């Protein structure tokens, strides 16, 4: 199969072509770049002066957490944004390795009974996904909590020396089988008390194999600066490229955020610390994270027992955060679909309650904490400033779902990358070439995605055409997957590849 894309301005590698060019694709590779007025191809597309860039790389996604890699393998929402590669296994939770065949580390996001688990190792998972066939390229990290909970269950104790050795061996094997590194979710209850020394030792094991470390900070509010210092310490001691996940300026904690950025600014060149964020003012959070810290003890069953306990629930009610009812929207509620889209104000009215705190507690009890929330808590002006930072990356931190009424999609799941491009155009805080490099070349270099992230002859034909920030065309491994508001159903819609790390 050959495809000829005519009349495009190429934006790649931090440069933009001065004149319109043509891009010729043969199979899954870029075959030639230039002017080919007489060349014949199986498919000819006139892009009419649009920009063409390498396919966008989303470095922080949740399609594995929500199991939508299986329920929606085409991953339409990413294709519509020009995304051709997604990185999973974030925030300490991955679909493999499963030492005992359990997916408890992702149950905060989804009903884990919805998928038949027929794998244990990373290599087996990747083979399963190859048979599944995806619409985008997929790569994964190893989730720290996924392995840790398999070793010690719901216990929050430190690992023994023997357990650490086992963990290091598991990481070694996972990277040899194709994982690109490992991640931690230090704000979540099962990792919150993890000793920093444990993270450093595991990061050193990953660094030896050339992997990446991604971390959800232990605290992104009043102790944010300490969290950034911890991430930097791991990066230095393990000599590992580190990404701070969904590093957003929360309202009320802007000064701490600015100090954290100053720490990253002051790092020597050899210490590579990046952070990802999205251009919106809404977070998506598991419902249980609204519990006071003292009530987040043990697994989900223990926390549910806490909110239903007659005495403890009264204490929880006193310590719940103060929330504006309309800034809090239910995005998903397992087995409680009728609550999806409801605000906290709606829930307060529905149950005839007197306060937003009572409504929040009632929601926790009704859903058994198995819900996700849109929460408007991000300073968008400071997001724009952070996007200028040379070490910032753009990520949706989202999943791609089938169209259904049981989940409300956040804006970042639908338009993170077009919004970023439009924001750059409207505010002129970087050049188009710099913006495209931030979402293509830079992440490809960080993750060592060979022959991706630039438009060059011999490189993978992952391409995106856009005009005025709107995505017109997405090509994945040489196949047209999305064009003019339509997902291509035959072939192109599932032309993604499973990417494997090579040391």
Task: For residue 20, give every residue at least 6 positions away whose Cβ sits within 8 Å of its Cβ, in sequence order, or none.
Answer: 7, 8, 9, 49
Q: How many of the other CB atoms lie within 10 Å of CB of 321?
A: 13
Per-residue confidence (pLDDT) for residue 135, from 0 to 100:
96
Residue 371 has a CB neighbour count (10 Å cut-off) of 23
Residues 2-54+453-494, CATH architecture: Roll (2.30)
Smallest CA-to-CA distance from 499 within 137, 128, 176 is with 137
Question: Residue 141's pLDDT is what?
Answer: 98
Distance CA 476, CA 494 (A): 9
| Domain(s) of CATH 3.20.20.140: residues in the chain | 56-281+378-446
What pLDDT is attached to residue 467?
93
Among the ranges given (21-25, 242-246, 325-329, 450-454), the one the predictor scored with the smallest mean pLDDT: 325-329
| pLDDT (tens digit per residue) in 393-435 | 999 999 998 766 567 888 999 999 999 999 999 999 999 999 9
Supply the pLDDT for residue 104: 66
d(CA 69, CA 365) in angstroms, rounded, equals: 30
Closest to 487 in 3D by CA, of 10, 67, 70, 81: 81
**Residues above pLDDT 70, as percent of the chain:** 95
Whole-number percent of the chain with pLDDT over 90: 77
- pLDDT tens profile 244-264: 999 999 999 999 999 999 999
Is-contact 441 19, C-beta < 8 A? no
Mean predicted confidence (pLDDT) in 187-211: 92
- Cα 226 to its chain centre, rounded Å, is 23
Q: Check residue 401 and give its pLDDT.
A: 84
Residue 353's closest CA among 382, 325, 372? 325
Find how far residue 132's CA is from the centre of its chain. Answer: 21
Number of H helices, E strands in the chain: 16, 21
Of 103 and 320, more confident: 320
* Range in 103-117, 131-145, 270-284, 331-345 with the lowest mean pLDDT: 103-117
pLDDT digits (tens, 9 = 90+) for 43-87: 999 999 999 999 999 999 999 988 899 989 999 999 999 999 999
User: According to the model, what pLDDT value does residue 382 have?
Assistant: 97
Report whether the peptide linkage leading into residue 97 is cis, meaning its omega lies within 30 degrees of zero.
yes
pLDDT of residue 490: 65
Task: Summarize pLDDT for 165-197 with one digit per residue, the tens.
Answer: 999 999 999 999 999 999 999 988 778 889 999
Strands 371-376 and 282-286: antiparallel
Q: pLDDT at position 244, please? A: 98
For 56-281+378-446, CATH number? 3.20.20.140
pLDDT band at 286 (very low <50, low <70, confident <90, very high): confident
Task: Using alpha carbons, select from 58, 154, 110, 27 the residue that is nearest to residue 440.
Answer: 58
Q: Angle formed by the axes of helices 300-308 and 310-319, to 10°? A: 90
**pLDDT value at residue 153:** 79
This prediction has a pTM of 0.92
Q: What is the mean pLDDT of the chain?
A: 92
pLDDT value at residue 324: 82
Strands 273-277 and 282-286: unpaired
Name the nearest CA neighbour of 147 among 202, 219, 207.
Answer: 202
Residue range(s) in the chain whose domain bears CATH number 2.30.40.10: 2-54+453-494
The 10s digit of each residue's pLDDT in 444-495 is: 999 999 999 999 999 999 999 999 889 999 999 999 999 998 998 665 568 9
> Could you report the per-residue pLDDT of 104-154, keeping only the tens digit for each?
666 656 666 767 788 899 999 999 999 999 999 999 999 999 999 888 877
């Amino acid at each position: 199969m050959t495809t000829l894309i005519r009349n495009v301005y190429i934006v790649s590698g931090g440069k933009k072509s001065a004149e319109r060019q043509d891009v010729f694709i043969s199979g899954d590779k870029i075959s030639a770049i230039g002017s080919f007025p007489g060349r014949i191809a199986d498919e000819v597309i006139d892009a009419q002066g649009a920009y063409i860039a390498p396919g966008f790389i989303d470095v922080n996604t949740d399609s594995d957490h929500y199991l939508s890699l299986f329920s929606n393998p085409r991953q339409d929402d990413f294709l519509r944004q020009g995304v051709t590669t997604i990185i999973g296994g974030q925030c300490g939770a991955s679909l493999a390795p499963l030492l005992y065949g359990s997916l408890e580390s992702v149950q905060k996001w989804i009903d884990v009974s919805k998928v038949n688990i027929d794998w244990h190792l990373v290599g087996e998972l990747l083979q399963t996904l190859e048979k599944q066939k995806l619409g985008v390229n997929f790569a994964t990290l190893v989730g720290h909590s996924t392995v840790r909970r398999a070793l010690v269950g719901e216990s929050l104790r430190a690992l023994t020396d023997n357990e650490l050795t086992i963990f290091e061996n598991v990481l070694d094997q996972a990277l040899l089988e194709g994982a690109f590194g490992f991640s931690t979710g230090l704000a979540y209850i099962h990792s919150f008390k993890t000793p920093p020394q444990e993270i450093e030792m595991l990061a050193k094991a990953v660094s030896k194999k050339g992997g990446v470390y991604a971390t959800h900070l232990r605290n992104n509010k009043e102790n944010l600066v300490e969290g950034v210092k911890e991430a930097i310490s791991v990066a230095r001691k393990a000599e590992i490229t580190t990404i701070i996940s969904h590093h957003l300026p929360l309202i009320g904690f802007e000064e701490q955020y600015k100090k954290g950025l100053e720490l990253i600014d002051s790092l020597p060149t050899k210490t590579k610390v990046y952070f990802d964020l999205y251009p919106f003012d809404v977070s998506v959070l598991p419902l249980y994270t609204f519990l006071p810290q003292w009530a987040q003890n043990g697994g989900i069953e223990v926390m549910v027992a806490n909110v239903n306990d007659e005495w403890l629930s009264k204490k929880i009610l006193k310590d719940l955060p103060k929330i504006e009812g309309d800034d809090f929207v239910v995005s998903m509620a397992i087995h409680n679909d009728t609550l999806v889209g409801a605000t906290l104000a709606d829930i307060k009215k529905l149950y005839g309650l007197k306060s937003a705190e009572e409504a929040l507690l009632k929601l926790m009890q009704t859903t058994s904490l198995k819900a996700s929330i849109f929460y408007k808590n991000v300073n968008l002006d400071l997001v724009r400033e952070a996007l200028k930072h040379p070490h910032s990356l753009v990520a949706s931190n989202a999943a791609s779902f089938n169209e259904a009424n049981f989940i409300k999609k956040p804006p970042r799941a639908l338009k993170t990358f077009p919004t970023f491009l439009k924001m750059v155009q409207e505010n002129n805080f970087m050049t188009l070439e710099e913006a495209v490099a931030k979402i293509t070349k830079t992440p490809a270099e960080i993750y060592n995605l060979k022959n991706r992230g630039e438009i060059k002859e011999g490189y993978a034909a992952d391409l995106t055409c856009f005009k005025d920030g709107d995505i017109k065309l997405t090509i994945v491994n040489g196949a047209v997957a999305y064009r003019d508001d339509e997902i291509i159903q035959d072939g192109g819609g599932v032309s993604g590849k499973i990417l494997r790390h090579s040391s």
